[in-house]
Amino acid sequence: MFAKIKKGNLQYLKFKPWEKFGLSAIFTGKMSEEYQATAKLYKKLGIDTSPIIQPRQVHGKNIFLVKRANFYRQRTPIAADASLALPSLMINKNEDVEIDSSSKLNSSFVLQGVYADCTPIYLCEPEQKILALIHAGWRGTARRICQAVIRELKFRTKVNPEGLQAIIGPAIARKNYQVGPKVLDSFKDYWQDPEDFFAADNSAAEEKYLLDLKKANYQDLLQQGLKADKIFVSSYDTFSEEDLFYSYRREGNQAKRMKALLFWHRD
């Protein structure tokens, strides 16, 4: 599913199945000399001159609709935990006119998010050139951020959810993600059966649970109409694979961040 690439101080994962669509889905690992390594990675991927669209994540379910990538680059990031790019909304950066879905101007931006245990979720509809990148921590997952994105998508397009494909990327595994009863209570406000992805942690001295973020978001995607065989779930665990990933739960405030990137291939 993910190909692991390591060269010098670069270390990242590439999702191979989507390459047939002309689409790159990347998740970075630990990289020494991070600023220089990131610049080197962008250059290697051919995106070093592209607008990087990275909303300011707030652990909610706000959605940023990408319209003018070049305009966005020059301003304070929007507070949102999902970016949604629809060709029908994209505007030529030089002229205030809408451009059609076949225009190469639609491929001149990169959706990016940062993660350190939370779940990266990549969405695409290759025929209509629709992209979305989601940051789903426990708060966003509790409030069903996947549901919010797909509802927004259905409101603005005629897309059939069965045509959507999704990747649930590297995130903390259930066995390493202990939470308290207040987290479970938060899920009960939005989910009918949240107990499906919570397990009691019997090793704890007080009431604690183990939360499966990947399973919760997988169930949300299924309930929004995606087909099971179009949802790819990564087995990578950011907490236990210390050589490859940073982890907020493991390292606390000292943890750095991994990046998820989603973009169309450059010609």
**pLDDT tens track of the chain, all 267 residues?**
789 999 888 999 999 999 999 999 999 999 888 889 999 999 999 999 899 999 999 999 999 999 866 656 556 678 999 999 998 777 544 444 333 333 444 457 999 999 999 999 999 999 999 999 999 999 999 999 999 999 999 999 989 999 999 999 999 999 999 999 999 999 999 999 999 999 999 998 899 999 999 999 999 999 999 999 999 999 999 999 999 999 999 999 999 999 999 999 875
Angle, nearest 10°, between helix axes 213-223 and 145-156? 30
What per-residue confidence (pLDDT) applies to 248? 97
Which residues 6+ apart lie within 8 Å of 247 measured at CB?
A: 116, 117, 172, 238, 239, 255
Tell how strand 110-115 and strand 52-53 pair up: parallel
DSSP three-state, residue 170: coil
**What's the DSSP call for residue 77?**
P
Q: Where are the alpha helices (DSSP H) in 4-144?
A: 34-45, 69-73, 138-142
User: Which helix (H) or strand (E) element contains residue 183?
Assistant: helix 181-188
Q: Which two tokens stand for residue 10?
A: 């670069």
Judge contact between 165 and 125, C-beta under 8 A: yes
Euclidean distance between CA atoms 93 and 70, whole angstroms = 6
CATH number of 12-41+55-262: 3.60.140.10
- Annotated domain spans of the chain: 12-41+55-262
Euclidean distance between CA atoms 113 and 110, whole angstroms = 10
**Rounded to 5 degrees, what angle do the CA atoms 264, 81, 128 make?**
35
